[in-house]
Amino acid sequence: MKQITIDPVTRIEGHLKIETEVEGKEVKSARSSGTLFRGFEQILSGRDPRDAQRITQRVCGVCPTAHATASSLALEDAFGIKDQVPANGRLIKNIMLGANFIQSHVLHFYHLAALDYLNPERTKEVTDCGPQVDTLANFLRSTDGAPFTPQYEGDYRLGPEISTDLCRDYLDGLDIRKKAHELLALFGAKMPHNMGTVPGGSTRKPDVGTIEKAGARLKEIKCFIDNRYLPGALALVEAYDDYFQVGRGVDTFLEYGGFYLDNILGAPQDTPVGLLGGVFNLENYSLEEVDLNEITEEVTHSWYEDATTGHPTEARTSPSADKEGAYSWVKAPRYGDRPCEVGPAARIMINYSRGNEFIKEKMDEITGKLDIELKDCASVAGRHLARALECKYISDLMGDWLEQLEPGAESVAKYEMPDEGTGVGVTSAPRGTLGHWIEVKNGEIENYQMVVPTTWNASPRDGQGRPGPIEQALIGTRIEDGDNPIEAARIVRSFDPCMACAVH
């Protein structure tokens, strides 16, 4: 068999190595390897619990708000105050997390993934593309260094007009991301690593001026999403409609749910909520409620001591860099022994199945137009489509949340921190479902565990030899040119890996 290695996979967050064995142009096996250890769970041990929502944000500069949210929810649970958070506090947390979702999804589509499909040369066929687009196209054509190498190319299908539009949106997307950061910072003081998210709610008491400023930025953001991002994503997947059949991995999809206005896992349908959770099986379209007791992390092929295996409340993080048979610093999360894909595709399928009216209406419209099925979300094209649709949905919800804020009303609960307690905080994050578990003893953090979206997706094999979702998505893929494995790169990037989170 021929071995094809992509190391590093560029245009993602962090350091990822992909190794494949190819026979007759078909991938027969794949290994996903996180190449860095960071030790945040060890850093947290022995600290004041209230440091957690500050420190965990440093896991990643792209999606820190999700960690702040999950951490604050875990602390609220451990402190016994999760039912005391004022409405303003919950709304502001949702607004800040929503702003982070938007900037992350825009970042992924334009600045991380688009160059897999976009040939800047095509913009030269448009005479009035403008100096900015021309400058960007020249830069992309001439760049031969980081962060664009190793860079694979080919199979470009987008015409000159859409190529020019995507180049223009590539540039304008940078400004939209800035506006999303500014919107978040209005409530969180700064971004990345906001100061507003705390156990009990938010430090910022909303006022009319702040709400109006946030609304003005949201209006610009929504205009971009509605008129450029979502149509651009639809145009791309329509041109690459065969990629709805490429990159399918596991059959089980997991989502805890997020953007709740209460703190109930698996909330009923009538609960005010943005994204509902569940465990979805692609083979028979069955849906079950999430049971957090079913979650484990295995380390058979991960560089950790075997004792690390288990439920997050039992596990400890003990690195073992020389462990025989290991090939990744990413652990292997499993739900009831099953590897699960998490992320926008999982959320779209789960929320469609649970009757989310917006998702159902939009997906019925899109699947009819593109002649695809709901299950085709579990693919390269499906993940890009799901991410854009989710971005549209969340931006619409944010307008409602801004209107529901009560100027001058309290936004944080008062509490006394107990000396002992345990808690769990679960939420949606841009790249998938996120969970934080904390144990407090003698007023200090005794144990802290994070099970992160890309830890699910980029996991190595488990003790039974079952590959993780990215590994399974690569197996069976046809690689036309072993020296230019663009097909494999497209599959990996469709998951939007965040290796900084995965190797926390």
Give 378-395 as a DSSP string: SSHHHHHHHHHHHHHHHH
> Per-residue pLDDT tens for 289-306?
999 999 999 999 999 998
Q: Which pLDDT does position 267 carry in this prediction?
A: 45
H or E segment to which residue 357 belongs = helix 357-370
Q: Residue 8, preceding bond cis, omega within 30 degrees?
A: yes
Q: How far apart are CA 313 and CA 422, in angstroms?
A: 9
Work out the mean pLDDT of the chain and round it to a whole number: 93
Assess whether pLDDT exceeds 90 at residue 212. Answer: yes
Instruction: Quote the CA–CA distance of 420 and 340 in Å, as a whole number.
Output: 33
Q: Please compute the mean of the pLDDT values over residues 270-285 and round it to a whole number.
A: 83
For the segment 58-86, the average pLDDT, to the nearest whole number, is 95
Across 130-158, average pLDDT: 71
Q: Is the pLDDT of residue 337 over 80?
A: yes
pLDDT, average across residues 161-185: 94
- What string of H, E and C letters represents the secondary structure of 227-263? HHHHHHHHHHHHHCHHHHHCCCCCCEEEEEEECCCCC
For residue 182, the domain's CATH number is 1.10.645.10
Query: pLDDT for 421-467, tens place per residue?
Result: 999 999 999 999 999 999 999 999 999 999 999 999 999 999 999 99
> What pLDDT is stored for residue 266 in this prediction?
46
* Strand partners for 155: none
Over residues 192-219, the mean pLDDT reads 97
Phi/psi of residue 289, nearest 5 degrees: -75, 155
Residue 9 has pLDDT above 80, yes or no: yes
The CA–CA distances, whole Å, from 114 to 224, 246, 381, 478 equal 16, 17, 12, 21
Between 127 and 204, the more confident residue is 204
pLDDT of residue 119: 84
How many other CB atoms are there within 10 angstroms of residue 419's CB atom? 9
* Confidence grade of residue 153 (pLDDT, cut at 50, 70, 90): confident
Mean pLDDT in residue range 170-193: 96
Is the predicted pLDDT of residue 273 greater than 80, yes or no?
A: no
pLDDT, residue 133, reads 77
What the block records as the tokens of 27 is 């991938």
Which of 132-141, 184-193, 229-238, 280-289 is predicted with the least confidence, judged by mean pLDDT? 132-141
Domain with 133 in it: 2-502
Query: Are residues 32 and 328 in contact, defined by beta-carbon separation less than 8 angstroms?
Result: yes
- Predicted local distance difference test score (pLDDT) of residue 137: 75
- Average pLDDT for 90-94: 94
Three-state secondary structure call for residue 23: strand
In this prediction, residue 262 carries a pLDDT of 57
Task: Give me the pLDDT at residue 270, please.
Answer: 46
Six token digits for residue 132: 């900015």
Contacts of 24 (CB under 8 A, 6+ apart): none
CA 386 to chain centre: 12
CB distance 341 to 254 below 8 Å? yes
Could you give phi then psi for residue 425, rounded to 5 degrees? -130, 120
For tokens 């005479």, the residue is 127
Among 71, 86, 93, residue whose Cα is nearest residue 424: 71
Contact 109, 147 (CB under 8 A): no
Residue among 31, 34, 33, 35 at smallest CA distance from 472: 31
Calculated CA dihedral for residues 70, 424, 265, 286, nearest 10 degrees: 100
Contact 165, 232 (CB under 8 A): yes
Report the candidate in 249, 283, 252, 281 with the shortest Cα–Cα distance to residue 471.
249
Would you call 242 exposed, middle or buried from its count of C-beta atoms within 10 A (0-12, 13-18, 19+)?
A: exposed
Residue-level pLDDT at 144: 59
% of the chain at pLDDT higher than 90 = 85
pLDDT of 159 > 50? The answer is yes
Q: What is the share, in percent, of the chain residues with pLDDT greater than 70?
A: 95
pLDDT given at position 148: 56
Q: Is the pLDDT of residue 268 over 50?
A: no
Euclidean distance between CA atoms 192 and 107, whole angstroms: 14
Whether 191 has a pLDDT exceeding 60, the answer reads yes
For residue 418, whether the previous peptide bond is cis, meaning omega lies within 30 degrees of 0, is: no
CB distance 404 to 87 below 8 Å: yes
Residue 399 confidence (pLDDT): 95
Say what the pLDDT of residue 90 is: 92
What letter would DSSP give residue 13?
B
The total of structural domains in the chain comes to 1
Q: Region 405-415: what's the mean pLDDT? A: 95
Question: Would you state the pLDDT for residue 147?
Answer: 53
- Average pLDDT in the 77-100 region? 94
- pLDDT above 70 for 146: no
Per-residue pLDDT tens over the stretch 103-123:
999 999 999 999 899 887 887
Residues 6+ apart with CB under 8 A from 488: 4, 6, 18, 20, 27, 474, 477, 479
Between 16-20, 79-83, 268-272, the lowest mean confidence (pLDDT) is in 268-272
CA separation for the pair 455, 482 (Å, rounded): 28
143 confidence band (pLDDT: 50, 70, 90): low
